[in-house]
Amino acid sequence: MKINESKKYIMDTQQKIKKAQDENWELLTVLGMPWSETKKLSANDREYLLSKAEELKEAHRQRQQLLTDAQRNQLEANKSLNQ
């Protein structure tokens, strides 16, 4: 293997490891899965659980936006009453 090919192989391997770690972190933080369990998942299970984690994050973003909008509306209503 040439030096450039070796470097590319090492970089590709590092990127795959980082991607797996990032996915494990997402499953741990969003779904509460133990780290040790995230490493045992099949590719299909990993893909499914990551999609569910995305759904949960989107639902959370939407709830946060609704809460923010409601608070803003309440502040504006209070301002109107106090004028």
**Residue 35, domain extent:** 3-82
In angstroms, the Cα distances linking 20 to 14, 23, 59 are 10, 5, 24
Q: Crossing angle for the helix pair 3-26 and 43-82, nearest 10 degrees?
A: 60
Q: How confident is the model at residue 80, as a pLDDT?
A: 83
pLDDT computed for residue 10 by the predictor: 86
Please give the span between the terminal C-alpha atoms of the chain, in angstroms, as a whole number.
77
Sign of CA dihedral 62, 64, 69, 70: positive
**Structural domains in the chain (count):** 1
Q: For the whole model, what pTM was predicted?
A: 0.73
- pLDDT, tens digit, 9 for 90 and up, residues 1-60: 677 888 888 888 899 999 999 999 999 999 999 999 999 999 999 999 999 999 999 999
